[in-house]
Amino acid sequence: MTVDLRLDHLVLAVPDLLAGVAEFAARTGVTPVAGGSHPGGTANHLVGLGPTAYLEIIGPDPAVPGARPRAFGLESLAEPRLAAWAVRPGDIDASVRQAREHGYDPGDVQPLSRRTPAGTLLEWRLTTRDDPAAIRPVPFLIDWGTTGHPAASGLPQLGLASFTAFGPDPGALRRDLAALGVVLDVEEGPETALLAVLDTPLGPVTLR
């Protein structure tokens, strides 16, 4: 597997958060823990992928009745999908400038936050693009600043056996990744997609 060592997290978007978490636990034998709620009507559960990375299961916040947020295509999502991933550069602002100089715009850096079930406010900065319904084979960038990284909070653990991006124009995808200075396995496919294989107590589990 070739994946960037700065991998921060994978994003599994689900139309129903509690049902999605239950299905994930049944498939893997590991139950993700509640991460908290975000402004805008989403919430998440987390499972670790080692000491510095994690998998985020994100969906409409069950505490906000009728919430259909646009993030990661949740507004129209009908089934779970691996929608995005993030890397953690040493300098997020410098990485954005470098990418733009090399022909790829990762989007502007914006602040975001969520509050954990214990009441702790976590704050970070990330790059955002106005394509909420698109699968994002090129990662967004994230900077946790002084906030403790979620992977260091005692999450239940799974292994990441492989992670691959697919697209009808793999050359263009590789160029965008190179502009960000990011390494990832890329293969040709009929449509844009991300695929991860997890090592779990119940055997390999594929997310796509």
pLDDT digits (tens, 9 = 90+) for 111-140: 999 989 999 999 999 999 877 667 999 999
The pLDDT > 70 percentage for the chain reads 99
**Average pLDDT over every residue of 73-93:** 95
Q: Which residue has the tokens 């597997």?
A: 1
Is there a contact between 138 and 106 (Cβ–Cβ < 8 Å)?
yes
- Region 158-169 average pLDDT: 96
Cα–Cα distance list, 35 to 23, 116, 126, 190 (Å) = 17, 6, 18, 34
* CA–CA gap between residue 59 and residue 77 (Å, rounded): 10
181 three-state secondary structure: coil
The structural domains of the chain, with segments of one domain joined by +, span 7-207
Say whether 164 sits in a helix, a strand or coil. Answer: strand
Q: How confident is the model at residue 183 (pLDDT cuts 50, 70, 90)?
A: very high
**pLDDT(105) > 90:** yes
* pLDDT 10s digits, 27-39: 999 999 999 999 8
Q: In which band, very low, low, confident or very high, does the pLDDT at 2 lie, cut at 50, 70 and 90?
A: confident
CATH architecture of 7-207: Roll (3.10)
Percent of the chain clearing pLDDT 90 (strictly above): 86
Cα distance between residue 132 and residue 29, in whole Å: 30
The pLDDT of residue 132: 64
Stretch (H or E) spanning 30: none
pLDDT band for position 1 (50/70/90)?
Answer: low
Q: How confident is the model at residue 206 (pLDDT cuts 50, 70, 90)?
A: very high
Other Cβ atoms less than 10 A from the Cβ of 168: the count is 11
Per residue in 46-77, pLDDT (tens digit) is 999 999 999 999 999 999 988 888 889 899 99
Q: Cα separation of 142 and 8, whole Å? A: 8
Please give the C-alpha separations between residue 2 and each of 64, 137, 182, 207, in angstroms, as whole numbers: 39, 14, 10, 17
pLDDT, residue 160, reads 97
Asked whether the predicted pLDDT for residue 6 surpasses 80, the reply is yes
Kindly tell me if the per-residue pLDDT of 20 is higher than 80: yes
pTM of the model: 0.96
